[in-house]
């Protein structure tokens, strides 16, 4: 169901449209002309506007053009008489969603067009929210909760998912906090709507507010057009605030207001936007300590800490290693076009003995590179030396040593093949396309 604005100067026809849409479960507002409609559209946020094309004063198309120059308008359906159909079709080329001829043939014509337009708008929001995601799907549920230490997490997720409660996921970096957040979302009544993640630690402080709440045209230097923020993209769904413990104090106050009042404004804007959103947050920080040190607002902490879920590190989930390793081998072998099905006992023992400071993210990195280097079965020599040494390295250092090892193997294969990429790929047991991708990643050039 959507929030719909009807802009129509004919009182009788406007009332008819409103009655039909109200019976279909929509929230409906009215405007008697374009000027009144413009005021409402500037002040409130609607999912759809239905406007007469020909009205005294400003026409429906001129209204749409003005809104588009100022902000991001909702989808527009233009009402048109038979003599102006050509104008309505031309308006669609400018971005108007659709048109409806009047007089109305039957109520179902209106209902069908409105449903179709609202579905298209929802898909657009979801597309925008997913464009920058590397993770498009979830592993099988038994894999997500593999290991005895995850039994309590599974129970908590199943308990909280059907509710509207805010959730905070606590755990070390690389433990899969976003994966658990996605699982909560998918199991919730909002599961068919958008899941919008944002890493609060990865975006500069001066840009984070705009990313979260959006901005209006001209709000700051470089704001050449209006932009929806993550909260708008998540309407009806879930926003995931990753590393919320790194959010600046100035923004923490604004986030608190959104949670308390369920409304916000774009940067440089004045109209309030309703926030029909579930909030899931995550952090690797000790928020109790952050509150004591005055780096995190106590009132925000209590608002977010309604339902905490603590994820165990991989070193406490060693019984899950065989299942996780098998999953990553199959995944990366399929991507690389290689037939690798297992890990030898010696290599598995090394994996089990390692303490995994980078958790599942580090395990994934290790297996991906071992698949590229291995053939048939992953051997101990295919693993980074850090796993067989008593000393440990930081996750970033381990990743670096793996990349060096991989690059060395690729360069050696190219040298043996006299620079022929196809022969080098065959020797490595990978596709030529995969080899080309790796060469580009390492900024390596070679001749056929």
**What does the pLDDT look like over 338-381, one tens digit per residue?**
777 788 888 899 999 898 999 999 999 999 989 988 888 888 88
Record the pTM. Answer: 0.61
Is the pLDDT confidence value at 108 over 50?
yes
Instruction: Specify the higher pLDDT residue, 223 or 252.
Output: 252
Among 157-166, 218-227, 398-407, the range scoring the smallest mean pLDDT is: 398-407
Residue 284 above 60 pLDDT?
yes
Confidence of residue 315 (pLDDT cuts 50, 70, 90): very high
Tens digit of each residue's pLDDT (9 = 90 or more) over 424-433: 777 665 666 6
Q: What is the per-residue pLDDT for 272?
A: 83
pLDDT at 122: 58
Determine which of 137-151, 239-253, 400-414 has the lowest per-residue pLDDT on average: 400-414
How many other CB atoms are there within 10 angstroms of residue 128's CB atom? Answer: 15
**Residues 358, 387: Cα–Cα separation, whole Å:** 12
- 90-94, 162-166, 242-246, 251-255: which range is least confident on average? 90-94
> For residues 210 and 195, what is the distance between their CA atoms, to the nearest angstrom?
18
Please give the helix or strand (H or E) that residue 199 lies within, else none: strand 195-199
Class of domain 3-121 (CATH, top level): alpha beta
Q: Return the CATH number of the domain spanning residue range 141-312.
A: 3.40.50.300
409 versus 308: the higher-pLDDT residue is: 308
Tell me the pLDDT band of 218, cut-offs 50, 70 and 90: confident
pLDDT value at residue 444: 66
189 phi, psi to nearest 5 deg: -60, -15
- Please state, for a pLDDT cut of 70, what percent of the chain lies above it: 86
pLDDT of amino acid 185:
92
DSSP states along 300-368? HHHHHTTEEEEPPPGGG-GGGHHHHHHHHHHHHHHHHT----EE-HHHHHHHHHS--TTHHHHHHHHHH
Would you say residue 165 has pLDDT above 60? yes
DSSP letter at 77 equals E
pLDDT of residue 316: 93
- Whether the Cβ atoms of residue 96 and residue 50 lie closer than 8 Å to each other: no
131 pLDDT above the threshold of 60? no
| Reported confidence tier of residue 434, pLDDT bands at 50, 70, 90 | low
DSSP for residue 70: H
Report the C-alpha gap between 267 and 435 in whole angstroms: 45
Check for a shared fold between 141-312 and 315-441.
no
- Average pLDDT score over residue span 148-175: 93
Beta-bridged to residue 279, according to DSSP, are: 239
In the chain, domain spans? 3-121, 141-312, 315-441
Q: Share the mean pLDDT of the chain.
A: 83
pLDDT recorded at residue 391: 38
C-alpha–C-alpha distance, residues 357 and 313, integer Å: 8
Pairing type for strands 263-264 and 273-274 reads antiparallel
107 vs 437, more confident: 107
First to last CA, the chain: 58
**For residue 243, is pLDDT > 50?**
yes
**Six-digit token pair at 286?**
């000790």
Q: At what angle do helices 249-261 and 205-213 cross, to 10 degrees?
A: 10
pLDDT the model gives residue 448: 41
Question: How is domain 315-441 classified at the CATH fold level?
Answer: Helicase, Ruva Protein; domain 3 (1.10.8)
pLDDT band at 314 (very low <50, low <70, confident <90, very high): very high
DSSP strand pairing (48-52 vs 3-7): parallel
- pLDDT at position 429 is 59
Encode pLDDT of 23-66 as tens digits: 988 889 999 999 999 888 877 778 899 999 888 888 898 998 88
pLDDT score recorded for residue 130: 40
pLDDT value at position 171?
Answer: 94
Q: Which residues of 163-200 are buried (b: 16+ CB within 10 A; e: fewer)?
A: eeebbbbbbbebbbbbbbbbbbbeebebeebbbbbbbb
Q: What percent of the chain has pLDDT over 90?
A: 35
CA 348 remoteness from chain centre: 34
pLDDT at 140: 73
Contacts of 147 (CB under 8 A, 6+ apart): 312, 316, 317, 318, 319, 320
The full 3-state SS of 224-248, as one line of letters, equals: CCCECCHHHHCCCCEEEEECHHHCC
Instruction: Give 390's pLDDT tier (boundaries 50, 70, 90).
Output: very low
- What's the pLDDT at 91? 81
Question: According to DSSP H, which parts of 163-229 are helical?
Answer: 177-186, 205-213
Query: What pLDDT, on the 0 to 100 scale, is given for residue 39?
Result: 86
- pLDDT band at 414, cuts 50/70/90? confident
Q: Which of 56, 102, 58 is closest to 77 using CA atoms?
A: 102
Closest alpha carbon to 279 in 220, 197, 335? 197
Q: Comparing 147-156, 246-255, 380-389, which segment has the lowest mean pLDDT?
A: 380-389
Give the closest residue to 147 by CA, choosing from 311, 313, 318, 309.
318
């Amino acid at each position: 169901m959507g929030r719909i604005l009807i802009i129509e100067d004919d009182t009788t026809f406007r009332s008819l449209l409103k009655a039909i849409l109200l019976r279909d479960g929509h929230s409906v507002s009215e405007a008697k002309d374009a000027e009144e409609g413009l005021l409402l559209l500037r002040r409130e946020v609607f999912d759809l506007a239905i406007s007469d094309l020909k009205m005294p004063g400003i026409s429906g198309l001129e209204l749409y053009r003005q809104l588009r120059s100022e902000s991001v308008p909702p989808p527009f359906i233009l009402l048109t008489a038979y003599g102006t159909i050509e104008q309505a079709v031309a308006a669609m080329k400018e971005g108007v969603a659709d048109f409806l001829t009047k007089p109305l043939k039957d109520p179902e014509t209106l209902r069908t067009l409105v449903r179709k337009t609202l579905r298209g708008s929802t898909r657009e929001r979801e597309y925008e929210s997913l464009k920058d995601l590397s993770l498009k799907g979830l592993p099988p549920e038994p894999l997500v909760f593999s290991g005895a230490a995850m039994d309590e997490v599974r129970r908590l997720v199943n308990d909280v998912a059907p509710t509207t409660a805010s959730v905070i996921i606590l755990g070390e970096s690389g433990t899969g906090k976003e994966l658990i957040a996605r699982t909560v979302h998918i199991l919730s009544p909002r599961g068919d709507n958008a899941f919008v993640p944002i890493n609060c630690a990865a975006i500069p402080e001066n840009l984070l507010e705009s990313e979260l709440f959006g901005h209006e045209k001209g709000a700051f230097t470089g704001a050449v057009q209006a932009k929806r923020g993550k909260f708008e993209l998540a309407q009806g769904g879930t926003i995931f605030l990753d590393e919320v413990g790194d959010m600046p104090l100035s923004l923490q106050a604004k986030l608190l207001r959104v949670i308390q009042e369920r409304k916000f404004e774009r940067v440089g804007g004045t109209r309030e936007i309703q926030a029909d959103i579930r909030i899931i947050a995550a952090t690797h920080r000790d928020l109790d300590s952050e509150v004591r040190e005055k780096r995190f607002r106590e009132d925000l902490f209590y608002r977010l800490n309604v339902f905490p879920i603590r994820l165990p590190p991989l070193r406490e989930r060693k019984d899950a290693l065989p299942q996780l390793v098998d999953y990553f081998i199959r995944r990366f072998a399929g991507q690389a076009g290689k037939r690798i099905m297992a890990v030898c006992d010696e290599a598995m023992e090394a994996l089990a003995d390692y303490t995994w400071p980078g958790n599942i993210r580090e395990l994934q990195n290790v297996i991906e590179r071992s698949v590229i280097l291995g053939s048939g079965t992953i051997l101990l020599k295919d693993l980074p030396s850090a796993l067989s040494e008593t000393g440990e390295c930081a996750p970033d250092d381990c990743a670096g040593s793996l990349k060096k090892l991989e690059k060395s193997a690729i360069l050696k294969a190219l040298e043996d093949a006299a620079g022929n990429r196809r022969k080098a790929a065959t020797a490595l047991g990978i596709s030529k396309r995969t080899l080309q991708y790796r060469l580009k990643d390492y900024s390596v050039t070679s001749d056929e």
